[in-house]
Amino acid sequence: MFNAILLERPEAGFSASLARLDDSQLPVGDVTVRIDYSTLNYKDGLAISNSSPVVRKWPMVPGVDFAGTVEASDHPDWQAGDKVILNGWGVGETHWGGLAQKARVQGQWLVALPEAFSSWQAMAIGTAGYTAMLCVQALEKHGITPLRGPVLVTGANGGVGSVAIILLAKLGYQVVASTGRLGETEHLKALGAAEVIDRASLSAPGKPLGKERWAAAVDTVGSHTLANVCAGLRYGGVVAACGLAQGMDFPGSVAPFILRAITLAGIDSVMAPLAVRSSAWERLAQELDTEKLQAITREVSLAEALTVAPQILAGQVRGRVVVDVNR
């Protein structure tokens, strides 16, 4: 038996509760993992709050991330005792996820836990931090160096935004943080932001082209914000787009693309191949300031995750949330 958050949608309506489940109920998979920690991402908030059709099979154990120890394996790459991480692959959406004490998954979905990190630190990073590194690598791939100019990070107080600031600042970039919580200015500067701007300057409908302000951007917001970010990029600029907190529409113009030769780089963390995942985790082990990671992370219990999840959607959570599934 093990504890888990269980999402159900019977005829009476949606429910999210702490449940006691039997190992025999675990889904099909060739690796069983005893989970140490999970985490809460924006997508988990949507699932637990039933705010968006994230869950596509019922009942569902949510949680797109987990870190733990292999308990049993029929997969050639893994054996009992191995420390592993899982991010994405539809876990928490179509396959039972990480907000539980146990999971059974496909072995090809797993990544070895880097020696530099504990299971707790891996979940403090989670999909949010792993996505932030994918964004940084995309900017580097397209030739964005610190000498090119400032890099904008939208949704700066969120998980992706916070880790992106830490990474970019350590790599020598001048970071401009966009947030709706200007009271967090000093906190964002402590993470490495050189400047903090009000998200209101980007979130309303704007012009097809604006003043050339940023060499590049990491956008977690989408919609009008992403359109305005593109309009404000310098010639040859790049934006790594990884989120849709404002919306999944893109009410923009081709003008920045054909007049300033900008690049819109889409970032997918869910189905990224193993080589991409491993590269991102290796870079995180090399570059991430774990003291700053600790400063933006808090821990909650499995039961507390039920109340914290909707707070993420309301923009009330700073940084990262680690879930101790064993308390």
Q: Is 273 exposed, middle or buried (0-12, 13-18, 19+ CB in 10 A)?
A: exposed
**CA angle 70-73-75, nearest 5°?**
120
- Give residue-wise pLDDT tens across range 121-173: 999 999 999 999 999 999 999 999 999 999 999 999 999 999 999 999 999 99
Is the per-residue pLDDT at 277 higher than 80? yes
Q: Kindly list the structural domains of the chain, giving each domain's residue range(s) and its CATH number in brackets, ordered by start.
A: 2-113+296-324 (3.90.180.10), 127-266 (3.40.50.720)
List pLDDT tens digits, range 281-291: 999 999 999 99
pLDDT in tens, 135-147: 999 999 999 999 9
Based on C-alpha coordinates, what's the Rg of the chain? 20
**C-alpha of 303 from chain center:** 21
CA–CA distance, 48 with 50 (Å, rounded to integer): 6
Q: Is residue 11's pLDDT more than 90?
A: no
Rounded to whole angstroms, the Cα distance separating 74 from 93 reads 24
The answer on pLDDT for 318 being more than 90 is: no
Give the separation between CA 258 and CA 209, rounded to whole angstroms.
11
pTM, 2 dp: 0.93
Map tokens 């935004």 to a residue. 161
CB–CB of 29/108 below 8 Å?
Answer: no
- Residue-wise pLDDT for 247-268, tens only, equals 999 999 999 999 999 999 999 9
Distances in Å between the alpha carbon of 203 and those of 47, 157, 207, 213?
25, 16, 12, 16
